[in-house]
Chains A and B, each alone.
Chain A
């Protein structure tokens, strides 16, 4: 059994640029899209981060980036870690991790349709929640649709 402190130490050794963002106590590591699979597999196998709590994205048009967020939890050490990947907004593409964590399959399908991120090698890249004929990616900040009309601001 590895303790949370040992896990934290091992994380710091592999990822020197580890950071803690305001409020949430979990350490954050940012990895390159090409190194994502390798790092997630390493976290799962070496540090027993066996549980992908969720995976989602943040659209940051100001930085022209889509940021993927993978939150992992270890049933063994009870530690959490957040893995981030920054992608360009146009042509956001990242390899799938659905074979490393099976739950990623649905989370990636949802992220793909909502944020327009392509998951290369995904076993089932259909839409998950949205209708098949909907164009665009609703959770992007600049999403527009003819039926979507902004109500006047109430003072």
Chain B
């Protein structure tokens, strides 16, 4: 790789978008490596162009926007109710968290009080969804790192959750379960026996996954001390969720900007020490344990009542604006909704955790080896439709 990169004569004029004639010429040892937009390690349609010096990453330029669907523009032409199913599709692994944040925002705009049972149902669903999302991350990350077995274990447990959610909502991933003021329908009768069985079994399953992957010697060797980002940099890049907490910053929307009935529950917020790839993995394992703690408390305190409030059929919030955020599996998932008093929002801005988490990638990766790229990118738990919206 001594010359500048060309892909045969036909592509002599190929540019990588970020490098044009004004860029400094690549030196003799430098070369560009293009990863994506279709690559198994990117977990979706995104592309990074890496400037390499031998095996060392000198610089990295992410390219996003391949699955940009213009949802924010679309929202301006839809009524408030019609937007709910779209929010599922921004992050298909945490549809519930997205529903939750959006619906809560509209309820605040309307000044609508929601029955206690609805709040408990929302917490149950959100925590189940968090576990399912973390399990999928664990499975996919294991595959990235060359461990196939954890995938089978994680998907066995995830299937249990997904089928519980399916029984309740009718959908497995894009559930469209939430409505302004409550839910589309009540929990099925078999839900709680299944949940009880799941809770009693899953504690052991997390321990299994912990020893299988996160405590595994090969895994530790590949992740510990790799991809470190300090607390100050992580905050400046707007990182949230497990990626931030791994960097020794104790911030969780559930505790710090309390919403729904989370203040009633007693749970811990796991915080990592070094901000490396291993800590990001460990935090997610601990979070699954804490979700289980919340699920148990929510199940025991589950109140009687109605599964929806008396919401108006045509939702026309008064003029005003609101920012409502929840702690999604990947971090702070927020909706900034501006209403002008009509049936359609004036503007909806989606604040998505993967967007900010991913923007820190060059900062984390500079100076590491190319093999670490897969380890670091996987540990950020990116969902690409959420970055592009």
Q: Which residues of A contact B (CB under 8 A)?
A: 21-24, 26, 50-54, 56, 58-59, 69, 71, 75, 78, 80, 101-103, 105-106, 114, 126-132, 138-139, 143
A132 CA to B332 CA, complexed, in Å: 30
Q: Are B65 and A75 touching (Cβ within 8 A)? A: no
Q: Could you name 16 residue pairs across A and B whose Cβ atoms are closer than 8 Å?
A: A24-B108, A24-B320, A50-B232, A51-B235, A58-B338, A78-B257, A80-B257, A102-B236, A102-B360, A102-B363, A103-B236, A106-B356, A114-B72, A128-B65, A129-B389, A143-B73
- Measured between C-beta atoms, what is the minimum distance from B64 to chain A in Å? 7
Question: When the two chains form their complex, are residues B238 and A126 in contact, meaning their CB atoms are under 8 A apart?
Answer: no
* Assembled-state Cα–Cα distance A22/B323 (Å): 11
B349 touches A24 (CB 8 A): no
Residues of B within 8 A of A129 (CB): 64-65, 68, 388-389
Report whether A103 and B238 are in contact in the complex, using a CB–CB cutoff of 8 Å.
yes
Question: Given the complex, which residues of A lie within 8 Å of B177, measured CB to CB?
Answer: none
- Complex Cα gap A130–B64 (Å): 9
A23 touching B321 in the complex, CB below 8 Å, given contacts A54-B351, A56-B349:
yes
- Per the 8 Å Cβ criterion, residues 332-378 of B in contact with A are 332, 334, 336, 338, 346-347, 349, 351, 355-356, 359-360, 363
Residues from chain B with a CB closer than 8 A to the CB of A127 are 65
Contacts of A102 in B (CB 8 A): 233, 236-238, 359-360, 363
Majority-rule SS of B interface residues = mixed
**B106-133 with Cβ < 8 A to chain A:** 108-109, 111
Q: In the complex, which residues of chain A have a beta carbon less than 8 angstroms from the beta carbon of B263?
A: none
The answer to the question of B48 belonging to the interface, with a C-beta cut-off of 8 Å to chain A, is no
B177 vs chain A, min Cβ distance (A): 25
Nearest 9 pairs of A and B residues by beta carbon = A103-B238, A22-B320, A129-B65, A54-B351, A129-B68, A23-B320, A102-B236, A56-B349, A106-B359
> Which residues of chain B come closer than 8 Å to A51, judged between CB atoms?
235, 238, 251
CA distance in complex: A26, B72 (Å): 23
